[in-house]
Structure 1
Amino acid sequence: MRVPDADVRTARRRSAGAPRAARGLRVLAAAAVLAVVTAGCGIRTTSVPVDAGGAPSRVPCSLSEAALTAAPDAGVPTRVYLVCASGLEPVHRTVRPEGAGPGDSARVATAQALLEAMRERPSERERQAGFTTYLDEPLKVAAGRAGDPEGALRLSRQPEDLPPAALAQIVCTYAESDATSVSGTVLLGGPGKYPVRRYVCDESVKARPESPLPTRAP
């Protein structure tokens, strides 16, 4: 029996449309899967290119020349060490040794003034640059007692009981001051009967202040 031409054409259109319909279903299914995956990852789909900006910059740990050359008021310009990016970096301070007199009196007054400068809250510019201090508790410093080596200083707390980074700040700051250092080292003790220790500030201490500080025989 001969099939009418109209029926043949209809059958051909249906057979040709089937693959296209299947392909369309597969595309829709893939789009649905992609939408679910991106939603699960917390990514919002968008047809508009988004400029997220550059990658976050590393903490600079440096201050502008304006901050470094600011005219100091009445006092002695000096440097103290703060913590930045897990290391020690110097910042400029102005200290005012109170009760300074001859000999040990001047040395202790300078040591106390440096302690206060290290405890001073970093300025807004310093905080933005990443600086902080681990020396957050009040400390007093006194001259060494009888039997201590010349140039020794004693803190109101045992040095080894301080946070390592705080002790590193003290040692590296004292090591740079003629009034508080002895041949580039720092002789520190505490209020107890323990002997003083000779602490050293070298590049390893500045790079890793959280590590134990190297010492030498007094």
Structure 2
Amino acid sequence: MRLRRTWGRRRTGLLALGAAVLLSGCGIRTTSVPVDAGAAPSRVPCTVPGEASATGVQSGVPLRVYLVCGAQLDAVERRSPLPEEKAAGDRVRTASALLAQLESEPSDEERRAGFATAVKGPLVVSAGRAGDPKGTLRLSRQPEDLPPTALAQIVCTFAESAAGEPGGSGAAADSVVLGGPGPYGPRRYSCTTELKERPESAVPSSPAGR
């Protein structure tokens, strides 16, 4: 009986040793400590095939909007039916056209490339009120009440277009002054690299200067 138990223990040890040898032979290092390999890499391409060539043959004003792809913000090229002569120099018209593009569902090609939008209507943009800093745009909802990803899309899209041109000296680049329908003063929202990488985080903002 004692001999059988000794052989059983030896057999178990040999099996464990054999498993370790096989794992090391496959290039897998055994460890008793859990390893955090990080998030799984995104498999979506985030590139619309033929995007550049398609925009060259379509009519309308070329627009650049930020959509969500792979949990980040990525820009796509669109065309607005707004006549160019009406869009030129009119920040509110430009912002309205951009907002309409953000609210619209991605095309079949964009969906296949992994794009989506968090901006849901109805949402309207208008000019600032008397006493607002120059260049202010007001939304029909308070910016801070919007989902963070939706606000990040709006801020980056507006900031990197004619709608987000700095309104005064010393204004930060890649920013836009936004307010809402309430009696609250507008704030300057910035589109940063970190925001594009993590659009679900709070959008950087600061008090808007006069």
Using structure 2 for the length normalisation, give the TM-score. 0.71
Question: Using the alignment, how far apart are the partners of 2:128 and 2:57 within structure 1?
Answer: 31
Q: Deviations over 1:167-204 (max 9, x none)?
A: 00000000111233324310000001011010000101
Matched, 1:63 2:51: no
1:111 equivalent in alignment to 2:70: no
Aligned pair 1:186/2:181, yes or no? no
Rg larger in structure: 1
How many residues matched?
Answer: 160
RMSD after superposition: 2.1
| Structure 1 residue aligned with 2:202 | 212
Instruction: Summarize the alignment of residues 97-176 of structure 1 with structure 2, pairs less than 5 Å apart.
Output: 97=82, 100=86, 106-176=90-160
Instruction: List per-residue Cα deviations over 1:36-55 (Å, max 9, x = no partner).
Output: xxxxxxxxxxxxxxxxxxxx
> 1:101 Cα deviation (Å)?
7.4
Q: How far off is 1:63 after superposition?
A: 2.1
Question: Match of 1:209, SS?
Answer: coil
Q: Distance in 2 between the 1:57 and 1:142 partners?
A: 37
Structure 2 residue corresponding to 1:203, chosen from 185, 193, 197: 193
Q: Is the 8 A contact 1:59 1:129 kept in 2?
A: yes
Deviation of 1:122 after TM superposition, in Å, equals 0.8
CA distance in 2, matches of 1:125, 1:100: 29
Deviating 4+ runs (over 4 angstroms)? none
Amino acid paired to 2:142: Q
Please report how far the alpha carbon of residue 60 of structure 1 lies from its aligned counterpart in structure 2 after TM superposition: 1.5
Question: Any conservation in 1 of the 2:124–2:139 contact (CA below 8 Å)?
Answer: yes
Change in CA separation of 1:158 and 1:184 when aligned onto 2, cut-off 3 Å = same
Distance (whole Å) between structure 2 residues aligned to residue 140 and residue 57 of structure 1:
33
**Contact kept in structure 2, 1:197 and 1:216, CA below 8 Å:** yes
Query: Partners of 2:133 and 2:62 in 1: how far apart?
Result: 28
Instruction: Structure 1: state its 5+ residue gaps.
Output: 1-55
Pick closer, same or farther for the CA change 1:101–1:84 going to 2, 3 Å: closer
